[in-house]
Structure 1
Amino acid sequence: MDFLSDFFIRFVAKLQSPTLGFLIGGMFIAAFNSRLQIPDAIYKFIVFMLLIKVGLSGGIAIRNANLTEMLLPAAFAVVVGIIIVFIGRYTLAKLPNVKPLDGIATAGLFGAVSGSTLAAALTLMETEGIQYEAWAAALYPFMDIPALVTAIVLASIYASKQSGTAGKRVRIWPIVKDSLQGAALSALLLGIALGLITKPESVYESFYNPLFRGLLSILMLVMGMEAWARISELRKVAQWYALYALVAPLLHGFIAFGFGVIAHYTTGFSYGGVVILAVIAASSSDISGPPTLRAGIPAANPSAYVGSSTAVGTPIALALGIPLYMGLAQSLMGG
């Protein structure tokens, strides 16, 4: 009972954080038809700044880290990304009124990673004083790319069977290339590379780090407004998408949390790192994933996978997933 009460208190406290407050505030002003708008160019710039900061910190940490410590968590990130897509393929994609290609694309988007959700989690963890390996942010592409590739491959196999061209070879490299060229992943990988190759500590401490939380609050406001706006898109598709988007983020996060705990007891992976692994699994790609899937699975309906992700999946991951996994980790740490 002490564990449960401690966890509940921590969970409620996370819901009162400023970061999540901006998200909920954005949803409220959108619900009241406010004319407040954040230009798309500013939104993209903010995302770029946040991911560059995350990448720089990860690259600096990797440069000074024992790379063997990353092997098991990175392998688990790959496995979780693939598992998430297969779960969606054999649950959502087989439900009534759900077109298989739409279901597979949705699973791919939920298997891919949201850079903004990751940034929100890192900020909250720093606020709470939860320690984690700085290179843990670099687990992002290890889950993101395999998930997108798996979804597009499964969609290609399904389409081939339907058209009677089963056995046609699916080209993997173009899928990987599109993922790497995505805006979010490119920014993150650029930051990691700069952190590894150069010595950006001075500009990191004087520019990127001080601006991080302020920019993140604006991003959360925009995401809250978009989440409310996407609800109308979600109404166009089967109700199963809403149920999937409600359950999937938490389920995916718990799966990753379990793998993270295994890594914790096997290699000493920190509980903060376990939270990061769970958060990226609970998130669904909001920047790089949609254009990759639009190109890789052109027959899928974007209203299905983008609507379910943005309207339900992202708010669930942010408002419930992050505080849930942080509270669970803190309770396990006994902190």
Structure 2
Amino acid sequence: MVDAVPFFFALGAVASLARSGLRLPAAVFETLSIYLLLAIGLKGGVEIARSESATLWVDALLAIGLGALIPLLVFPLFRLRFSRPDAASLSAHYGSVSIVTFAVGAAVLAGRGIEVEGHLALLAALMEAPALIVATLIARWGVKSADGSSTAGALVHEVFANKSVVLLGGGILIGWIAGPQGLEPLSPLFVDLFKGALCLFLLEMGLIAADRLPDLKKAGLFLVGCALALPPLLALAGWGVAQAMGLGVGGTVLMMTLAGSASYIAAPTAMRIAVPEANPALGVAAALAVTFPFNLLLGIPLYLWWAQAMAGA
């Protein structure tokens, strides 16, 4: 069975390249993003309420550690070609996670009837911030700033009060408190309509990604190569962490997806405050125009194949 979800992204990219003029209204796109983040959070919170796992907080620490480690791994690679601020900013993009990529992976697994541990949504929320903090420390290492304290305060607020963190974390908390029975009346809205809303969101993401191609062309082949090579390599690190957590096939695929994804929402916003001298076009173009479509079309199927093959072995 071929999952239809990624093809909506492709449709948007083709429509943009063909200059069709297609575009979702800004208010609709904003509403869809709010809906998706809340729906993911609520589902994760309900599953946490159902779970009796005693390893939940150990898994949370492992996920936070992975999010903090990835920028340290990829910074030397980006430093080969880019300035310290740009390399640190790119490291933040690849250390933080893409919640939309996570949602697509969850939808693909659900379509195939593969079960996923419920607390993966919590781990996704926890993995957004550590990379942003570590990348900022890398960028600022040895650099004196007269207003460093105010910048640090603004960064902390931007990271933890970011829209995606608030909605995803708030959804998890609500779902956890309300539990399965409390959220049953909301199921038609937040469960039944989820996949359709995701398809519309990906249509617009395809349009935006195609618009970023000129920025990517200016950045050069080195960045394109990194944006293609890093997802499967980092996904292997996610696989190792998933093994330490004892996750099943579904949870392993989503942990690999999180590790191999790149942030194009939280990271650009935080880096604009923390590292203003970095070029924002580099991270957004690499994450959105290369890594995001790679994961949708090739990465998630590859991670699923790997997780199933290793589980069989």
TM norm. shorter chain > 0.5: yes
Aligned-residue offset at 1:328: 1.8
> Is residue 172 of structure 2 the alignment partner of residue 192 of structure 1?
yes
Query: Aligned letter for 2:235?
Result: G
Counterpart for residue 156 of structure 1: 140
Aligned-residue offset at 1:169: 7.7
Aligned residues: 310
Provide the C-alpha distance between the structure 2 equivalents of 1:77 and 1:232, rounded to a whole number of angstroms. Answer: 34
Aligned-residue offset at 1:69: 2.2
Provide the C-alpha distance between the structure 2 equivalents of 1:158 and 1:38, rounded to a whole number of angstroms. Answer: 45
Pair 68,177 (structure 1): closer, same or farther in 2 beyond 3 Å: farther
Provide the C-alpha distance between the structure 1 equivalents of 2:185 and 2:142, rounded to a whole number of angstroms. Answer: 49
Paired residues of 2:151 and 2:273 also in contact (CA < 8 A): no
Aligned-residue offset at 1:198: 2.7
Aligned-residue offset at 1:45: 1.1
Percent identity between matched residues is 27
Provide the C-alpha distance between the structure 2 equivalents of 1:70 and 1:270, rounded to a whole number of angstroms. Answer: 14
Aligned-residue offset at 1:214: 0.3
Aligned-residue offset at 1:54: 0.9
From 279, 288, 297, the counterpart of 2:266: 288
Provide the C-alpha distance between the structure 2 equivalents of 1:250 and 1:46, rounded to a whole number of angstroms. Answer: 28
> Is residue 292 of structure 2 the alignment partner of residue 314 of structure 1?
yes
> Is residue 65 of structure 2 the alignment partner of residue 73 of structure 1?
no
Aligned-residue offset at 1:67: 4.9
Pair 170,255 (structure 1): closer, same or farther in 2 beyond 3 Å: farther
Query: Aligned letter for 1:245?
Result: A
Aligned-residue offset at 1:172: 5.9
TM-score (norm 1): 0.86
Paired residues of 2:151 and 2:274 also in contact (CA < 8 A): no
Pair 158,89 (structure 1): closer, same or farther in 2 beyond 3 Å: farther
Provide the C-alpha distance between the structure 2 equivalents of 1:74 and 1:232, rounded to a whole number of angstroms. Answer: 38
> Is residue 102 of structure 2 the alignment partner of residue 118 of structure 1?
yes
Paired residues of 1:137 and 1:276 also in contact (CA < 8 A): no
Counterpart for residue 126 of structure 2: 142
Counterpart for residue 46 of structure 1: 32
Paired residues of 2:154 and 2:273 also in contact (CA < 8 A): no
Provide the C-alpha distance between the structure 2 equivalents of 1:258 and 1:67, rounded to a whole number of angstroms. Answer: 20
Aligned-residue offset at 1:256: 0.7
Provide the C-alpha distance between the structure 2 equivalents of 1:75 and 1:171, rounded to a whole number of angstroms. Answer: 27
Gaps in structure 1 of 5+ consecutive residues: 1-12
Query: Aligned letter for 2:199?
Result: S
Judge which range, 197-206 or 72-81, deviates more. 197-206
Counterpart for residue 87 of structure 1: 73
Query: Aligned letter for 1:156?
Result: R
Provide the C-alpha distance between the structure 2 equivalents of 1:41 and 1:130, rounded to a whole number of angstroms. Answer: 34
Provide the C-alpha distance between the structure 1 equivalents of 2:299 and 2:142, rounded to a whole number of angstroms. Answer: 32
> Is residue 83 of structure 2 the alignment partner of residue 99 of structure 1?
yes
Counterpart for residue 240 of structure 1: 222
Query: Aligned letter for 2:139?
Result: A
Paired residues of 1:60 and 1:192 also in contact (CA < 8 A): yes
Aligned-residue offset at 1:292: 1.1
Pair 295,67 (structure 1): closer, same or farther in 2 beyond 3 Å: farther
Counterpart for residue 211 of structure 2: 229
For residues 131-175 of structure 1, what are the alpha-carbon distances to aligned partners after superposition, in whole Å with 9 as ceiling and x for unaligned? Answer: 111111110132211111101111111533xx8x9xx88986653
Provide the C-alpha distance between the structure 2 equivalents of 1:238 and 1:153, rounded to a whole number of angstroms. Answer: 27
Counterpart for residue 237 of structure 2: 255
> Is residue 16 of structure 2 the alignment partner of residue 36 of structure 1?
no
Aligned-residue offset at 1:286: 2.4
Paired residues of 2:12 and 2:204 also in contact (CA < 8 A): yes
Query: Aligned letter for 2:134?
Result: T
TM-score (norm 2): 0.92
RMSD: 2.1
Query: Aligned letter for 1:209?
Result: V
Paired residues of 1:261 and 1:271 also in contact (CA < 8 A): no
Paired residues of 1:106 and 1:304 also in contact (CA < 8 A): yes
Counterpart for residue 330 of structure 1: 308
